[in-house]
Amino acid sequence: MIPALFIGFSLLLLVSGLMVVLHKSPVTSAMFLVVAFCALAGIYILLHAEFIGMVQVIVYAGAIMVLFLFVIMYLNLGHDPEHGATILLRRLIGWIAGALVVLQGAMLFAGRWALGPTSTEAPPLGGNTQALGQLLYSRFLFPFEITSLVLLVAMVGAIVISKGRSTRTPDPIPHAPHAGLQAVLRPGDTVTPPTPPGGGEA
């Protein structure tokens, strides 16, 4: 059972990873990357890393992929012309997927998929998450705190970089005296005196 699941998840992971690299449209690549991350989460859970598997789904397939898709959308890279046949096919796939979801819910509530415990040994109290948390807050406390600093620096850096230099900031001192302004002017520049607000000279 478990080796078969592992082989299935691995095949899904590798095939969708290849599709990420090979597909022409960036949006489709991103979608295949989501599939790859979810398959990898399944492999993590099979390897007794339940917390990492959940974090993989939440952080990678959730947050990071939303960031990717948002940038693709913002830059308008997903040139995806919709033809008639394609949109019919998509609608068909959508109906099939919706029916599958409803079927899964029905079977779940009917209790058909209650597999029961697969292993005889009981999991330790608190499980993987508690053990990992205790390790993070005792032996790896200093790297853990540094990680928060890394995230803070990345956040500030991303904001500063994406604000960019291309947008000219308005002059912070509109009423600065000319002697101060000429210090930053090169010879040959034309200087237009700033008009005071309200048109006081007129």
In one-letter notation, the amino acid at residue 1 is: M
The residue behind tokens 């991350």 is 37
Judged by CB under 8 A, does residue 12 bind other proteins? no
Judged by CB under 8 A, does residue 51 bind other proteins? yes
Select 57 or 181, whichever has its Cβ closest to other proteins.
57
Q: Over 100-165, what HEC string results? A: HHHHHHHHHHHCCCCCCCCCCCCCCCCHHHHHHHHHHHHCCHHHHHHHHHHHHHHHHHHHHHHHCC
Judged by CB under 8 A, does residue 190 bind other proteins? no
Judged by CB under 8 A, does residue 38 bind other proteins? no
Q: Are 79 and 25 in contact (CB under 8 A)?
A: yes
Binding site for other proteins (CB under 8 A): 2-3, 6, 10, 13-14, 17-18, 20-21, 26, 29-30, 33, 36-37, 40, 43-44, 46-49, 51-52, 55-56, 59-60, 63-64, 67-68, 71-72, 74-75, 77, 128, 131-132, 135-136, 140, 143, 147, 150-151, 153-155, 157-159, 161-162, 164, 166
